[in-house]
Structure 1
Amino acid sequence: MQIMILGLVLWTVSHVFKRLAPGLRARLGEVPGKLLVTVLSLAAVVLMVVGFRRADFDPVYTPLPGMGHLNNLLMLFSVYLFGAGKVPGVARHYLRHPMLTGVVVWAVAHLLVNGDLASVVLFGWLGVWALVSMLLINMQERWKRPLRGRLRADGIVLAVAVVLYGVIAMIHIWLGHNPFLGTYG
């Protein structure tokens, strides 16, 4: 689990670097700064995945029966939110942080169906990171609400989200964690 925690720390540091050390981040320059965050983020994801897969199963709580259905619905919504902030649709007009909100929804969805220690640490940490990131951004930047876009753009994002959700589900199945089999009792 130490490898996973190292990945979580690396993810957190690389993502809050701009908020906590804006002068240093600015001195790096736009492209080198983004490249550094990208490289550190990819390394963090690899460490999180490897660490999570190697972690022992230490139960913390037993997920409630039937949560698999809610998990799958929340995951589709989470994938939708990841894309909603990038297109001029209706959702972007109402949500200041659609991608970070998607991370929170993703974390909650996974905590509904995974009650082991590694899951609580991984999904709980990333959910809290997303909430703290929202707070830091809100404290440092004013939000200028984007113009309300077209519902058609949100429909396209939803269609792409359904396809991506299918790909994510297939990857989970390939890794041995079928999202359609858990806690449906």
Structure 2
Amino acid sequence: MVYFIVGMVLFFGVHLVPNMGNVRNNLISKYGENGYAGAYALIALIGLVLYSIGYAKAEFVFIYEPSALIKQFTMVLMFFSIFFLVAMFAPNNIGQKVRHPMLIAVIIWGIAHCVANGDLWSLVFFFGFVVFSIFKIVSLNKRNKPPVKKSIPWRNDFIVFVIACVAYGVEAYFHQYISGMPVWYLFGA
């Protein structure tokens, strides 16, 4: 449980503390942009690893049994999560309409995993990312003006869709090696 708590505090703390007042600007002026970014990335990575290790080692505490339909709906949600994640990395119209596609992807991912898992620590783990992402969207929207919309050909959206389909298949295949749980269990296989 110590890994879980320390990891959670480090990961979410390094993302949230710089949003308080002038903390981010003060750290950048003291350590430089590269020093700040490097420390930020390292602390976030250590936090995520500890959070994940703590989650993997947490005792299973049953809360509810998700229905078969809900588990299958998770697969649909996960496609949208991957789709928005891909939209983050290429110029496309979807990424322009949805202001923070990566954070939307994390929210969908977290909700999908909350509904597909009925144990306490899954709910705490995944819902933590949902709450964090919502907070981050609100914070970023207050701090930054909406970007200027550019004219982007619709073929870029199609390319994002194709890449998302491929990434979805790869994620579905490798899920069992990452989490120990094959996604096919959602279909009773």
When the two structures are superposed, what TM-score results if normalisation uses the length of structure 2? Answer: 0.88
What are the equivalent positions in structure 2 for 1:9-158 lying under 5 Å apart?
A: 9-20=9-20, 21-27=23-29, 28-158=31-161
What displacement does 1:24 show? 2.2
Displacement of 1:59 after TM fit?
1.0
Structure 1 stretches lacking a partner, 5+ long: none
Q: CA RMSD in A?
A: 1.9
Following superposition, the deviation at residue 184 of structure 1 comes to 5.4
Shift of 1:121: 0.5
Q: In the alignment, does 2:187 pair up with 1:180?
A: no
Task: State the SS of the aligned residue for 1:181.
Answer: helix
- Distance in 2 between residues matched to 1:7 and 1:183, nearest whole Å: 32
- Higher normalized helix content (fraction of residues): 2
Q: CA deviation at 1:49?
A: 1.8
CA offset digits 1:24-81 (Å, max 9, x no partner):
2322322221111211121122112211111111012221221222111111111111
Aligned length: 185
Residue 22 of structure 1 and its aligned partner are, at CA, apart by: 2.4
Go from structure 1 to structure 2 and tell me whether the alpha carbon gap of 1:95 and 1:46 turns closer, same or farther (over 3 Å shift).
same
Determine what percentage of the aligned residue pairs are the same residue. Answer: 28
Structure number with greater CO (CA < 8 Å, separation at least 6) is 1
Distance 1:120 1:6 in 2: 17
Secondary structure of 2:89's counterpart equals coil
Alpha-carbon displacement from aligned partner over 1:84-134 (angstroms, at most 9, x marks no partner): 122221112211111101110001110111010110110011100000011
Q: 8 Å contact 2:28–2:35 — kept in the other structure? A: no
Read off the aligned partner of 2:14 and give its amino acid letter.
S
Unmatched 5+ residue regions in structure 2? none
The residue identity in structure 2 corresponding to 1:129 is F
Name the CA distance, whole Å, in 1 between partners of 2:170 and 2:71.
18
